[in-house]
Structure 1
Amino acid sequence: MFATHRVKLTALLVAANAGLILHLLVGEIKPVLAWDWLDIAGEGGSALLLLLWTCLLLKSRPAGHVTNLLFLGLACLFFSLFMDSVDEFVALPDAITWDGWLESGPMPISFVLLTMGIFHWHREQLAINEQMRNRERVFREHRHFDKLTPLGDANYLRTQLQLALGEAAEEQQPLSLIMLDMDGFSRVNRGYGHAEGDRLLQVLTQLMLLNLRQHDLLCRLAGDRFVIVLPQTGEQQAQVLATELSQAVRSLAYKSSRHGERMDLTATVVALMAREEGSEALLQRLNITMARAKQSLTMHCGRQTG
């Protein structure tokens, strides 16, 4: 603090001592019996508290315009009270009138400076509070982000889906969902290890993001299952997007990190449009649709094998 603001503190102490020396040069020290202890305690104590406030201000704030205004306001108020306290110890000749200016002159200036400083401090604090709220919001949301991929998790999906449903109802716009589930993903973990499976999920995440629109929301529901929220999208358009995602996964030339061989990847992708229902009911209907699609795929593969 003293290294940064030593010029301010030095100037304040020089001004206070100059006022004291000026009183001593032209006046006489009053006898102790003439001292008004109540005024001394009130004015002197207030001056000491203002000096303490000034030190705390300089210690807690960086140098700058707002700090300068607050310091100058407190410094003028301190100087005024200090001169008023000195007057309790030193008697000046009646011809002297400048002592009144030293005692009362800085007072209105101090309040003007303090008002300006507090006003700018208020605006500064509002900006800081807004930044803190944003950081807090981001922190809360990041607790609901998937640890493997840069996507929201199931809890984040439910929160955003509820908001999207409300906006769709208010704007009378359609809203659809897509669910993507990798086929036989467990074989990747068994055959290549979980590290390879994690790497594949990260690649798939980037692939899907590249094939989605800017306002679509991709979340990782669990494992190798993803859900995409499609605002202002009807079921027919959602089906087209689902087909494109399925083709993108099938066309992905993913090479394993172990031997570099290409893995044949497929995914079951289903799409449906929201009705007049809540987020949980919509997700349940989507899961049922996916289960039926998986069952149909298993039966189809069984017939081909037989």
Structure 2
Amino acid sequence: MRSRWLENRWPAAVAVMLLAGATAACTATEAGSTDRALEAAAGPSITMRQLPADIGQVAYPLDRYRLTAAEQRLMEQATYGLVRRCTLRFGLDLPPLGKAIDKTRRDRYGLSDPVEARTWAYSLDKPSVLAPAWLAPIAPGNRLHSIVTGSTADGRPAKEQGLPAGGCGGSARRALAQDRTSLGDDLVARLDSEAWKNARADARVQRAESLWQRCMNAAGYRYQNAVEAPYAYWGEQRLLGRKAVSPAEKKSGIKPSRAEVAAALVDVRCKRTSGFLQTWVAVTIARQHQLVIDHGPALRQHREALSSSVRTAKQFLRAG
């Protein structure tokens, strides 16, 4: 199982600007110069009312250097059109474009969404939303998949006469100048991860996590931490006593038990009532704010490259 809570490289679908700062528990006396700088950069503390119900809707300073939801959809449409134009030359058509990719990051602070808690709890088998809807139905090993990706199911180059390097997908990326944005995308992802990790280790977040543990203990749950531990525990519980996974479960994933769902709902509630979510979000935003200042020139250059790709995509879509 992979650590989905570390998948923090994708942008929020809808920006909800949120001023953030240190928790009230951290006084000026307790805080060192770094803490005071964070508080000054972040602004007032997050309250329960300010934190959106859907944590994936929080906006971060680094989001300015990612494609917006509208730009992302436009790029998806242009990419699809270019890939389809290419595959048609090989006598193959693509599945329908489908809905927009939902790249919100609802699990970067562990389980925090009540809807997800009720449906999937700590299961990592929930359907991925990171792949384009039109690409998901194309099975690896299928000729169309090889033409789109430029490689066979075992990773060898596809043997199709006239196929561009990287397949039709590679051709589309080059046409939209997306290769020029890859280094900048990596930088944003690295800074995002750095802010996440630094905030996770912040004393204020750790104090709030202690309050979360107290809340969970009162409900009869004992976990070592608020992020990895519940996933690990319920992952083991889900497989205990099982001799085999059914065909339906192989296809759709192992659904959580009632006990797991009950624990997940308590977890989500405690993360908010303890102030754990508010604190971690606040410190993460403050850390990102400083990283944006530190890496301003490179980030602005990346944003210009993204805008250039978007303009190219618009020109293609206008041309039909």
TM over 0.5: no
TM-score (norm 2): 0.21
TM-score (norm 1): 0.21
Larger proportion of strand: 1
Higher relative contact order, structure no. (Cα contacts within 8 Å, ≥ 6 residues apart):
2
Larger proportion of helix: 1
Larger Rg belongs to: 1
